[in-house]
Structure 1
């Protein structure tokens, strides 16, 4: 992603400092996913990470900067996962296998906590424009991964040459995010599967018109 929270060359931290910073971010990420951003305090992050408050403030000027670091770390994990999964997709069947994997993963926690990026967006996008921009870039990357898979399917001849790939990718990502929300409130991944299936059914309908 374009926005980076790495220290400037003049403020490079030591290997030990980098480990401390990573430990703080990991603890904050887990707490914010389970408790939410607003409900997570810096004192809780200090306790969970095992660092001192002075160490936390050495790396982060306040909660806002820590939240942005959590977004960056979460984005690297989520987009890395999707890049690995979607980068191999070049068939409709492969797209369905991707669907099965993402729904089954959510089913393991009975839909709880929703999408890590979606949950962060719900809490911070209207209050921190830098964070909103970071999240927008991450969702754009996710959509681009979906579009790449759809273009490979199109290149194979399984989708018509005039299929609106970018729009299909946006709709499919919307189905994923809406599915996460429905699964979270229902504590059941079934609505997520249905939501994605509806988007895939539309893609299937286009595939069926290909000569």
Structure 2
């Protein structure tokens, strides 16, 4: 292989890694966007639609797990698409009492590591939670997720979350919040 061919091959590999990182960044951002409440995706009128969109982001053999001394018992481990779906249904199911009325994810400290058609990514996120009974909390977690390319599309193959802290918030800390998002409306 000539020096020029080697240089082109090296640049091609670098561009592929950069494109994979960008795809994974968008995939993780889409995941938390769909997890926000009220769901900001235009046209999504119920939680079943939200969960269908979330499941489109996952591989069939995906794992969703809470780990560590606080999250092991709270979230446990869901293996495979059906179990991951049931996990999400527990968050937004009709029977949840109190209902989750506000949840917004803020991601930081991103690290993405691509190795061919697989990758891992780490983030820290913080999110306020507000429930229909007026209770609320601030939660922060470390994420250590895995991704796999399926065909030409990156998918989540593992969501792993570990508690950093959970802090109850005082009543009335939030004065206004939307009952529905209109952000994505055309």
* TM value normalised by structure 1: 0.28
Query: Which of the two has greater strand per residue?
Result: 2
Higher helix share: 1
- TM-score, with length taken from structure 2: 0.30
